[in-house]
Structure 1
């Protein structure tokens, strides 16, 4: 940002009239000019001013909505994106799939040196942005952080919360997360999430190519044996759940955080960091112990697991060729048994849904035991993260709390770069903020 052109707005929400965008606007309005909030000025951006006005009316819950500037910006018009980015400290990008629409927005933010957060759960997009923009983002002082929604903050911060329960000399070896979605109505997912999954299958070779083309990242030293390949379907008796592997971005984002932490054991230095914050940062990361990590989708009914498998197979098979993708995206409700539909969930369906994410950690009561031949974990710690519906309630809560930290403590955050939420926000009060806004972290058992 040049000295002559100071940003007009603290935050611009881009894609504010979309399904998720309007819920993000609603969440942001709670903190606009509220006591102790750093959010003083807000603007909404998108392609259509009428739709932005409708979104603002809906989000404010009244006919007399607050006067908030509307900015016309379109991913197909780079100059409109640069104009938008030059008017703000921070862009919240709610326009997905990010594989199709994300790159020009990141490019604009990096070019003008403003910060960028999104709610992406697409590994190939996130890793490509890191490959293409990391160095320039550092140079320009632009902090680019993807996955600041349900993908992947509950997984990252849930894992770190579990990790902090392992008090020396105890160490974790692996943590399995079990995601259980509940509702007394039908659970309906975001169509954008479904489209991202379909496009992810279509482009899986691109992610493999990208990884082959890049230098190998550092890997943390995890005490004890490597992860074992389990069966396709698992019965988690303690939790009373049936589960299968969930091909989400969570484990990939966690791995990237642990790689950065292995290269920077005290975390990442803030651009103009307060010495107390530097101490706090180093102390926080000294309590985080890496572990093998996986995520599973879990349900009380074995029949539901077979439903998940059927959906996964249909996306996997049809998503690999053009006509199959057309069918999936044209008729999502048919291929997901109503789990995804183009119109998205009703407000009642959103309000009735909740999630529980259980973290079952296996490890050793003493790190010395882990180095013994044939060592098997002798300790188990179970923690849990729970909160409201994942796509439209939990995701906006997380995104706005991350944004408030950026506004309030920018000098304590890294100068710039393309980074994960865990490594950026770990040493700050994000967990406390989430707890204050309806997402709880609990220690369940230790034995």
Structure 2
């Protein structure tokens, strides 16, 4: 349904990409330039017209004629003009906790759909608290986490549940995502992680939110008990014949999947429990790798938390605007395998997989296709029961429309009985 606010405003653009000069912003612009259908009006935006134009000049074909908009997260007037001009805004400007809320609020107020690639639980919680009601009133769909965080997790759980229900096999029970991946890290990701670490260290309330398994639930008081705790343990998983280590984004992705389930009125199941781990292989090599992954993650977050070590972290890891090389992006990949035992005792699995560095090459595809879902197929996209808009998730705002678009881009997304 089109928002009442959106029908009043003249929308000059179908999609505006805000943050086009950033590392992921450039990759997303390239994806849109190659795959946007004819007739869909795209504009690029950022703080510096000259820098945005320089990015535009590198794009192929008709994208070199895309309009350029100037906007800054600290300038409310420029953000409002940007949001009022667009049907859908893509934001790649992070850390989102530092720069993202003004744009989300503006999109919610004027009925503009919005997608981003955040993995910051505190930002999303504040977005819900401040803008859920306004977005629901105007019909704006605010869709966070439309990249590697958390589309593989969210769509994997969705298609798994749909397959189980379609085959009359009951509901999802204990469900584990096993991630295998090859990819790099960008300076923007590092900056986001440091920002959230600082917030958690400085504020006990925010620390409690970050550790809450149901931090993003729309109805926290009525969530079921018995959900798995976040764990940094190394384990052997017989069902996949592999050792497992902590997965770096599990503490975020699990919150998104649980929010989807709650928004869908717990359609995944009354006994649904969900966790994510990283698969490292069998034998002693897999075990050693699992302990190595756990150690590196512990040292990394420990170093980020210790202010005297911050200069070392900044020297070792990429700076904002930097990221993996083109070769690294092309040779990266990921495979998320979700395994469940249903309430009838049946075993099912879903797989979400793609070629390309998961956090950058694959994320640019996921983010761009999420925006195109809303720009060209909005009426076909689902909404949770009782909602006209709001702060949503990929599964509840885009659903199988996004599944089909990603399959068309070479992604594997499937579910089956095992």
Does the alignment reach a TM-score above 0.5?
Answer: yes
Displacement after TM superposition at 1:231 (Å)? 7.8
* Offset at residue 344 of structure 1 (A): 1.1
Over residues 189-216 of structure 1, what are the superposed CA-to-partner deviations in whole Å (9 max), with x where a residue is unaligned? 2222222223223323443455799985
Task: Spell out, residue by residue over 1:116-167, the C-alpha distance to the aligned partner (whole angstroms, 9 max, x if none).
Answer: 1111111111111000111112223322110111111110111122223323
1:23 paired residue among 21, 27, 33: 27
CA distance in 1, matches of 2:325, 2:216: 43
For structure 1, the residue ranges without an aligned partner over 5 or more in a row are 266-284, 334-339, 367-377
Q: Which has the higher helix share?
A: 2
- The structure-2 alpha-carbon separation of the partners of 1:324 and 1:55, relative to structure 1 and needing over 3 Å to count, comes to same
Task: Tell me, yes or no, if structure 1 residue 109 matches structure 2 residue 107.
Answer: yes
Is the CA contact (8 Å cut-off) linking 2:216 and 2:255 kept in structure 1? no
Which residue in 2 is equivalent to 1:83? Answer: 81
Per the alignment, residue 43 of structure 1 pairs with 43
Deviation of 1:221 (Å)? 6.2
* 1:433 matched residue in structure 2: 405
Partner of 2:294: 309
Given that 2:163 and 2:416 are in contact with CA atoms closer than 8 Å, whether structure 1 keeps it comes out as no
Partner of 1:370: none
Q: 1:244 to 1:73 in 2, by over 3 A?
A: same
TM-score by length of 2: 0.84
1:398-413 maps to which residues of 2 (within 5 A)?
398-411=366-379, 413=383
Q: Deviations over 1:232-277 (max 9, x none)?
A: 1122345343212325211000111112222xx7xxxxxxxxxxxx
1:385 to 332, 335, 352: 352
**Which structure has the larger Rg?**
1
How far residue 324 of structure 1 moved from its aligned partner, in angstroms, is 3.4
Aligned to 1:391, the other structure's residue is in SS state: coil
Distance 1:93 1:321, change over 3 A: same
Structure 1 residue 395: Cα displacement: 1.4
- How far the C-alpha of 1:416 sits from its partner, in A, is 2.3
The equivalent of 1:424 in structure 2 is: 397
**CA 1:170–1:100 in structure 2 vs 1: closer, same or farther (change >3 Å)?**
same
**How many residues were matched structurally?**
392
Q: Mean Cα displacement is larger for which, 73-82 or 12-21? A: 73-82
Change (3 A) 1:94 1:440: same
- Indicate if the aligned counterparts of 1:236 and 1:242 stay in contact, CA closer than 8 A: yes
Aligned-pair Cα RMSD in Å = 2.9
Aligned equivalents of 1:213, 1:102: Cα separation in 2: 17
Q: Work out the CA distance in 2 between the residues paired with 1:230 and 1:99.
A: 25
Residue number in structure 2 paired with 1:198:
194
Contact 2:232 2:246 in 1 (8 A): no
Q: Distance in 2 between matches of 1:103 and 1:169?
A: 42
